[in-house]
Each structure stands twice: as structure tokens, then as C-alpha cells.
Amino acid sequence: MTPFAELLERLVFTPGRLAKTALLRDYFAHTPDPDRGYALAAIAGDLSFVAAKPAMIRQITEERVDPTLFAWSYDYVGDLAETVSLIWPTTAPGTAPRLSEVVAALHDTSKLAMPARVAGWLDVCDPSERLALLKLITGGLRVGASARLAKIALGEMADVPADDIEEVWHGLQPPYLPLFDWLEGRAPKPDAAGAPVFRPTMLAHPLEETDAAALDWAAYRAEWKWDGIRVQLVATARGQRLYTRTAEDISHGFPEILAAMDFQGVLDGELLVMRNGVVAPFGDLQQRLNRKAPGAKMLADFPAAVRLYDILIDGDGDLRALPFDERRVRLEQWYAAHRPERMDLSPLIPFDGPEALAELRLGARAASIEGLMLKRGDSPYLAGRPKGPWWKWKREPLAIDAVLMYAQRGHGRRSSIYSDYTFGLWRDDGVLVPVGKAYSGITDDELNFLDKWVRAHTTARFGPVREVEKALVLEIVFDAAQLSTRHKSGVALRFPRISRIRTDKPAAEADRLDSLMARVPPSGVAKGEALADLES
């Protein structure tokens, strides 16, 4: 438990992805089996046992601690597991159990015996071990590390591409001994044959003006870039899975897609909400993404579908080495043969030179379309983001002039710089309401300017946040706007970033909330959850 607790404690305070990976790498390299495998499973969310309920934790604590002091402490700390980990009286000598012992015992312990078992562990742990234990058994580590990040760390440790680990991952179970044996050279690569495992996705680069100028347009095919999320459909004799492009398994959230995967193969496409063949705004898909197990009403109100654009494996045949044009023919043949429900083909868009395509892109204002994809006809399906074969050519972003309201210091390299900005628009009654937050889009010089400006125009401080005079206009560009009940303004922006600092514009002349509302596509009522959850 001790190394696991130390790892969690460092991860929770470490903002940088590189630093997090280094911490994970060090842990996996220096922790023995099977503990490290169970830690990997805990981080990946792959551990399953009957989780202890917070009420039980509270009860065993109240048996040992004065209830008044416990209540005050909980008020002060604000987190039950943390409060208990700190306030628990250390009574028994001894050392913390190993993570593998805890996991094994949790499988064997009856609900009735659980309180005594947990209390016995807490007695011999120190506060940081207690916290790790409590987070483990109540489910939810919340340390800002994903399965993908852990696999990247493992890959770095063993000098193996993380995508190779993905290929074998879903055939393995905690504590993944064959995986570690392979990574450390004691055994061959685990055989994933027949298992519905993820295949690394091919990604596109954004097309900049300089790229466009040099492009051999005749070599490329064009498709619409749909505003959904990229998914991979994997179906074998051993099961069906739906993965995101980062290998997250989202099968449980989309049972109707799984039910329609009555074939064997691996396909690449866009997950969308579609009603009668019409793509709904992204906000509708968001409703589904927020639910791990959608109910009947959710399934009926927000029906999911997949628009296919590539085929990686057909039956036993791996098609990834074939050029795009041949794969496209195979995809169309496959689709004609299977006609799976809830799936259609993303059409190729015929075009006649760059000017015609540029015009198409300009005209692409439908909410369901983000822009264009350009794919070289002779390109094989390659893992990762090779530059050249695939381009994404997004439509021009929307822009608003907003007023800077709050600024917050960043993390790591930016920890001394006010680099996170909340901006707002004017409401009819003359009140400025926040509509979003942006961290990116500006040069280092502009960042320094804003940092100085924030320090010189602070009106109030709330922890690491400063409120500033409502006097500086920022031009914000974003990909789309949609309604949100979670934001005070009632609207949320997708991918907002700062494009310019408008020192030339008085704050009173910044945009009004109405003008942003006018750009929200109809029918995209997002209930409850906000965009920021998925995109941050």
C-alpha cells in the first residue's frame, strides 16, 4: 500500500502530463508484481469488487472518534475519506498491507465482515496510506491519471509504443502478469487473437495556409468532418466493443450500437445522435456521453448512430496496409453486404480543384459539420498522426469580443503567471455575465502583457483567482455555441481560445449576450451537464 499511496499523493498534486507519466513510470519500474498490476487496474478503472459505502466508513470512524470533533473536522476538510484518514487514531503497531493483499481480501470479505476488516487496515496505516485505501475501496481515485496515461508510462518504461499495449490490453485481466512479463522481456507478446481489442487510430493534422499552398490536391479525397466523436467499432466472435480514439471503452453507454454490430471486423467512424437521418447538434450527443448506462427514455430521445468512413479489418483480413482508395471500395462493398442498422456511410465529396473545395468549406455552416477532411488516396492506415496523408480543414471559427473578468494563475511552468482567463458578455440590463474560460491561443508576449495587466487592474482576490476591472476586451474564437443550464449565462462555447487582445476597443462596445445566443443552433438543448467536462 505504501508505494501506491505515495504515487497517488504525488499524482494528485502534479499538474503536468509529462511529470505524471514520469511518476507512473517510476512506480511501475520499482514495484513488484502483483501490486503494480492492481495499481494499474485501479487507475484504469478495471478493479471490481463490492465497494464500501461512505456510510460504513463514517460509522466505523464514529465508533473511535468524538462525534463533535469528527463533525468539525469533516466541515474543515470537506472530504470524508481525507477527514477519516487524518483523524483516525493510530492504535496498532505494524505496517500497511500490500495492495495485492487488500484486493484479494476485498474479494473474500463478506459485507458483514467488511467494517472490521477495513478498521483493522486503517489501524496499521499512516494517513496517506489510509487515504489511498479509502479511495480504493469506495471507488474513484480522482488523481488525474487515466488508463491511457498509465499505458504511455508503461510503454516508456519498456521502450514499446503505447499503442502496442492497447492492442493486447483488452485481452488481459488484473494484475496483468503476462503484460509485465512481456514488457520486461520474460515472455512473448500476449496473444490478443480473437479478442475485441482496440487498434491504434490514424489521426489528421490541421491544414494551415502554407500546407494548403503546397498540396497536390488531385491526390486527395474529401469528406465532411462531422461534429461528433471519433469511434472504433470492434466485433469478433468473442464480443463487440465501442472505443473512443483514445481507446476508452464506451460500449456500455451505447447498447443500441453494440446490438447492431452483428458482423466481424473493425470499422472507423463518427458517433452522432441522428433523428431520421438528420445529425443532431453536438449537445445532444453530450447527453449520451454523460451517461454510463442510459435509460429507455434517453435511448429514445437521443438515438445514437455511427457514420462510417474507414474499414481496418474485414473478418480475418487486415486491410490497414491497403491504400485509402482500395479500403474505400472495400468499405462500400462491406456496407452493401451487411447494411447494419444505425450505421451509414460518410459520402466522398467530389470536387474540382482547391477553389471549389474552399467554397464548399465556406458554405459548411450546418451545425453537424465541423469542416472538411482530406485523405490521400494512396495512404495506408497508419497509427498516430503522420503528417501528410490526412488533413482536417476546419471551417472558420466564430468570433466574439468579450470582456476579461477573472484571471487565475496556471500550473507548473505557468504557476507564476495569470494565464487562465474568464471572460463575459453584456446582458440587456447592463450586467456582464461570464460565458467561458480560455487558456490558449496567445503568444508569450501577449501572455506577459495580460499577466501584467491583471496584476495592475486587480479589484478582488479569491484564492488563486483575481477579479479585474471590467476594462479589457479579448477577441475570442470558438467552434460552436450551445445552450447550457449549468452556466449562468445559459450558453457554453466549444474550444474557446483567445485570438487577439483588443486594447483598441472600449469594454462597453464588447458583444452582447444576445448576439451569442443568436448563434446557438436550434434544438440543441443541453440539460444539466456542461461541455467543459469532456473537453477540459
Partner 1 sequence: MVAPHPETWLRVLPQGLFCEPGGFFIDPLRAVERAVISHGHSDHARAGHDAVLATPETLAIMRARMGEGRAGRVQQPLPYHEPITLGGVTMRLVPAGHVLGAAQIVMEWRGSRAVVSGDYKRQRDPTCAAFEPVECDVFVTEATFGFPVFRHPPPEHEIGKLLKSLTLFPDRTHLVGAYSLGKSQRVIALLREAGWDAPIYIHGALASICALYEAQGVRLGDLRPATVAAKDKFRGAIVIAPPAATADRWTRRFNDPVIARASGWMRVRQRAKMAGVELPLIVSDHADWDDLLSTITETRAPEVWVTHGSEEALIHALSLRQIRGRALRLVGYEDEEASEEAPDELASPPPEPGQHLAPLTDAP
Binding site for partner 1 (CB under 8 A): 6, 10, 12-15, 19, 22-23, 26, 65-66, 68-73, 75-79, 82-83, 86-87, 126-127, 409, 411-413, 415-416, 460-464, 466
CB of 461 to partner 1, least distance (A): 4
CB of 457 to partner 1, least distance (A): 15
CB of 98 to partner 1, least distance (A): 20
Nearer to partner 1, 293 or 460 (CB): 460
CB 407 within 8 A of CB 442: no
Nearer to partner 1, 30 or 365 (CB): 30
Which are the contacts of 383, defined by CB distance < 8 A and separation ≥ 6? 161, 163, 199, 200, 201, 202
Nearer to partner 1, 157 or 313 (CB): 157
Nearer to partner 1, 75 or 504 (CB): 75
CB of 86 to partner 1, least distance (A): 4
Nearer to partner 1, 167 or 451 (CB): 451
CB of 79 to partner 1, least distance (A): 7
Query: In which element (H, E) is residue 282 found?
Result: helix 282-289
Length of the chain: 536
> Looking at this protein, which amino acid is placed at residue 437?
K
CB of 463 to partner 1, least distance (A): 4
Nearer to partner 1, 18 or 293 (CB): 18
CB of 339 to partner 1, least distance (A): 53
Nearer to partner 1, 25 or 225 (CB): 25
What's the rounded Cα separation, in Å, for the pair 40 and 120? 25
CB 245 within 8 A of CB 402: no
Nearer to partner 1, 205 or 409 (CB): 409
CB of 103 to partner 1, least distance (A): 24
Query: How many H helices and E strands in the chain?
Result: 21, 20
C-alpha pair distances (Å), 527 with each of 22, 435, 492: 39, 17, 12
C-beta neighbour count of 19 within 10 angstroms: 14
CB of 185 to partner 1, least distance (A): 24
Nearer to partner 1, 16 or 54 (CB): 16
Reading the block at residue 253, the C-alpha cell is: 453507454
Nearer to partner 1, 26 or 181 (CB): 26
Q: Counting beta carbons within 10 angstroms of the beta carbon of residue 519, is it exposed (0 to 12), middle (13 to 18) or buried (19 or more)?
A: middle
DSSP 338-387: H--TTEEEPPB----SHHHHHHHHHH---TTEEEEEEEETT----SB--B
In DSSP terms, 222 is beta-bridged to: 374
CB of 126 to partner 1, least distance (A): 7
C-beta neighbour count of 302 within 10 angstroms: 20
DSSP 124-179: HS-HHHHHHHHHHHHS---SS--HHHHHHHHHHHHT--HHHHHHHHTT--TT-HHH
In DSSP terms, 393 is beta-bridged to: 372
Where b means 16+ CB within 10 Å and e means fewer, 314-342 reads beeeebbebebeebbebbeebbeeeebee
CB of 414 to partner 1, least distance (A): 10
CB of 138 to partner 1, least distance (A): 16
CA angle 72, 54, 251 (to 5 degrees): 135
Nearer to partner 1, 455 or 488 (CB): 455
**For helices 147-158 and 17-30, angle between their N-to-C axes, nearest 10 degrees:** 60
What's the rounded Cα separation, in Å, for the pair 526 and 284? 7
> Looking at this protein, which amino acid is placed at residue 528?
G
Nearer to partner 1, 75 or 428 (CB): 75
